[in-house]
Amino acid sequence: MWLTEDEFEDLLYTIRKKPVKSRGVNPGEKYLRDRAIIYLLTYAGLRVDELSNLKLTDIDLELKQIRIVGKGMKVRTVPISNTLLAEIKDWLFFRAEMANQKPHVEDSPYVFCSQRSPKFTVRGIQTMVENYSLPNKKLTPHMFRHTFCKWMLKATNNDIEKVRRLAGHSNIATTSRYLKDSYSDLADAVDALPNF
């Protein structure tokens, strides 16, 4: 399961307009943090544990790339798009200000912290994402990874090898699952036939 562009837009609207209440979390902080997490999952294709373990030193804003330690300690580098770069910069700027007020943030090597812990856990991220579920779709962090693969296939004209490398799949068969087109993709293809 993945998100359509419309569903992703609806989700961003929901995050902006109706932040999910969380005990003791500043709404501004929650908004920027949640948005940055959603963007990293969707625009970099991170697995939830990769996101939880992401360190400040893994992000290179100058070279516009993220170093990701994936399954089996395999390291991959994913380029940062301009869209993602803006989100990351917003979050890191806010995080730096938070570090002045919260010692556990200042001392943390991780990009994302929870309210009281220097690391936002996998379970914490899963719960946060699930709280934003759409009326007809229960959201999971992995759904954003599926979305990344689906959107990347479309953006690369189905270049499965590029997508495999970006997603950190060791086997191309894993990536090829995303080639299965949705009905709307098939309808768009048929509509794109030349008219005579």
Active site residue 146: no
Q: Is 145 a catalytic residue?
A: yes
Least confident range from 13-22, 86-95, 123-132: namely 13-22
Asked if the structure places residue 84 within a domain, the reply is: yes
pLDDT of residue 95: 95
Per the structure, the count of domains in the chain is: 1
Active-site residue, from 47, 95, 146, 164:
47
* 177 in a structural domain: no
Report yes or no on 123 lying in a domain: yes
**How is residue 51 written in tokens?**
């996101």
Domain assignment present for residue 155? The answer is: no
Q: Tell me which range, 18-32, 75-89, 169-183, is most confidently predicted by mean pLDDT.
A: 75-89
Of 145, 146, 150, 164, the active-site residue reads 145
Q: In the prediction, which pLDDT does 71 show?
A: 82
Tell me whether residue 13 is one of the annotated catalytic residues: no
pLDDT at 185 over 70: no
Percent of the chain at pLDDT exceeding 70: 91
| Residue 25 pLDDT exceeds 80 | no
- 43 is annotated as an active-site residue: no
Residue 182 lies in a domain: no
What is the CATH number for 81? 1.10.443.10
Which of 142, 154, 162, 165 is the catalytic position?
142
Catalytic residue among 39, 43, 110, 178: 178
Range of the domain at 23: 5-144
Q: Has residue 168 been placed in a domain?
A: no
For residue 3, give Cα distances in angstroms to 39, 83, 148, 149, 174. 13, 18, 9, 11, 19
Q: Which pLDDT does position 182 carry in this prediction?
A: 56
Judge whether 61 lies within some domain. Answer: yes
The pLDDT of residue 66 = 96
| Catalytic-labelled residue, pool 16, 55, 71, 123 | 71
Residue 166, in any domain of the structure: no
- Look up the pTM and report it: 0.85
Tens of pLDDT, residue by residue over 26-42, are 778 888 999 999 999 99
